[in-house]
């Protein structure tokens, strides 16, 4: 199975992260979720901004869903 273009960095026991993933699931058919604390580079880059959605390595949004940006990228 090909890797998803979309990746969400979250943190364990993060209610905002859980809400973000739930909202994102209604917009995107496929995305990967990773714990930011399991990757030292990701923790340095995104640790205080989680949840963070990236598309092909570029940040799409963090903290709250940017529906317009996600829909635009999903169509591309």
Stated pTM of the model: 0.92
As a whole number of angstroms, the distance between CA 23 and CA 42 comes to 22
pLDDT higher than threshold 60 for residue 1? no
Listed in order, strand segments (DSSP E) in 21-76 are 32-35, 52-55, 58-62
The number of folded domains in the chain is: 1
CB–CB of 73/30 below 8 Å?
no
- Boundaries of domain holding 69: 6-75
Residue 1 within any structural domain of the chain:
no
Residue 71 within any structural domain of the chain:
yes
Give the 3-state secondary structure of residue 38: helix
For residue 54, give the CATH number of its domain: 3.40.30.10
pLDDT tens per residue, range 7-59? 999 999 999 999 999 999 999 989 999 999 999 999 999 999 999 999 999 99
């Amino acid at each position: 199975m090909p890797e998803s273009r979309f990746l969400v960095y979250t943190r364990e026991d993060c209610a905002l992260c859980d809400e973000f993933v739930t909202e994102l699931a209604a917009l995107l058919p496929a995305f990967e979720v990773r714990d930011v604390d399991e990757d030292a580079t990701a923790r340095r880059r995104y640790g205080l901004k989680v949840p963070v959605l990236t598309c092909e390595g570029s940040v799409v949004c963090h903290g709250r869903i940017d529906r317009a940006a996600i829909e635009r990228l999903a169509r591309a």
